[in-house]
Amino acid sequence: MASDRCLPYFMLLILISGFTFVPTPVASSSSIGINYGQIANNLPSPDDVIPLVKSVGATRLKLYDADPRVLRAFAGTGVEFTIGLGNDYLTRIRDPNQALTWLKSNVQAYLPSTKITCITVGNEVLTFNDTSLTANLLPAMQSLQGALAKLGLDDQVTVTTPHSLAVLETSYPPSSGAFRRDLAAPLTEILKFQARAGSPFLINAYPFFAYKANPRQVPLNFVLFESNPGVVDPSTGLHYDNMLFAQIDAVHSALASLGFRNLTLHISETGWPSKGDANEVGATPENARKYNGNLMKIMAQKNGTPLRPSGDLNVYVFALFNENLKPGPASERNYGLFKPDGTPAYALAPNGSDAGGNGRPASKSGSPPPETATPTPASTSTSSSTGYLAISSGVERCHHNGRTLLVLCLAAIKLLF
């Protein structure tokens, strides 16, 4: 199968990265996770998906449901699963008895051969602005946690919920990151619960949206992890050469400002579409290859963000497959690393192109990366993050180039919806 050709490249990549940058054993190098969305009618059977997942070196998968076919197929593979309960489950699951019943048949039944380690409750609930949905979120999480404890599984399975980046009211500079004021109260209660339970805070972050909204003002190389001057956070002096890291650190700052500095943060979705509608600037195979390929390289280097340099990045690319039944603009159906027939949506490894965009060399070995590799990505199933960064119109005046002006321009970025 086509993906077999990709395997040598990824092994080489891991070896190079491991020996060049990572003092710890190669096997522990942070691996990429992938969102396995299935809003499609033409996807391969889960058994045929196993080699694809391995071909890109992914060791973690995230489902938007608890598809028994997938959970059965991946038994014994060692792949770690995050499974999901959709927003329409919250009312039911807040009932402790229903939570227990659901856990028994959707989690306990597969353990330990299928390694389920995390349950996401709802998706981007808070940014729906639906008060009854929001009101059900924490009780549903609590019921599941209680049921896990009852089954003795609470030390191996955690409960969390993914948020859109639009939970932020301020995202630039990263040190000023702050949550929407109207969400501070419900979020604080959820964060207290998560701090006690020890579960990670999840955020879906798409620099693509920022670029698409302002292609003339947002530097493409800054969002694609390619070489660029970057920006400096004026209050910390920290240098950012890619937008994803700036977004992640904005979330770290927002968490800290609510008193949850130590909560683990994972990126539950990020990615780049290889195709879009005519007005979706930037949705090309070339940009998707750069975004996901560079992201994988950065992950392999195992460095954190400027604000948390030693924090392991834990990222789930969206998505494994192009999903032909997703509604919305064409980009929504084209986030996949793979086409439904199992062939790569684009070649992930660059032909020796510069991928050192975050200030670190992509490879010190001097050998150009082979070109047959496959992609790595991220996707969203029922909804996608609506939050993105956009530059306010007031800064149109400062669009000349050069580092200083770029800093000034980006300092005026603010979060829109």
Indicate which residues carry an active-site annotation.
124, 269
Smallest gap from Cβ 401 to ligand NAG, in A, equals: 26
Q: CA 405 → CA 84, 214, 229, distances in Å?
A: 44, 17, 11
Residue among 341 and 371 whose Cβ is closer to ligand NAG: 371
Q: Is 351 in the site for ligand NAG (CB under 6 A)?
A: yes
The CA-CA-CA angle for residues 156, 161, 164, to 5°, reads: 145
From the list 411, 401, 378, 65, the residue with the least C-alpha distance to 209 is 378
Q: What angle do CA 127, 133, 138 make, to 5 degrees?
A: 95
Q: Please, which residue, 108 or 380, has the CB nearer to ligand NAG?
A: 380
Q: Which is nearer to ligand NAG, 351 or 401 (CB)?
A: 351
- Whole-number Å distance between alpha carbons of 413 and 417: 13
- Is residue 367 a contact residue for ligand NAG (CB under 6 A)? no
Distance in Å, CB of 308 to ligand NAG, minimum: 12
CB atoms within 10 A of CB 390: 18
In angstroms, what is the minimal distance from the CB of 394 to ligand NAG? 19
- Cis status of the peptide bond prior to 390, with omega within 30 of 0: no
Do 271 and 317 touch, CB atoms closer than 8 A?
yes
Cβ contact 379:335 at 8 Å: yes
Nearest to ligand NAG of 132, 262 (CB atom): 262
Question: What is the nearest approach in angstroms of ligand NAG to the Cβ of residue 373?
Answer: 12
- Report if residue 417 touches ligand NAG, rule: CB under 6 A: yes
Among 129, 235, 343, 404, binds ligand NAG (CB under 6 A): 129
Burial 159-184 (b: 16+ CB within 10 A, else e): bbbbbbbbbbbbbbbbbbbbbbeebb
Considering only residues 243 through 272, tell me which ones interact with ligand NAG, judged by CB under 6 A. 262
Q: Does 392 engage in binding with ligand NAG (CB under 6 A)?
A: no
Rounded-to-integer distance, Cα 101 and Cα 119, Å: 15
Q: Which helix (H) or strand (E) holds 109?
A: none
Q: How far is the CB of 269 from ligand NAG (least distance, A)?
A: 17
Q: Which is nearer to ligand NAG, 229 or 285 (by Cβ)?
A: 285
Among 48, 371, 399, 400, binds ligand NAG (CB under 6 A): 371
Catalog residues that contact ligand NAG under the rule CB under 6 A.
Answer: 129, 180, 262, 351, 371, 417
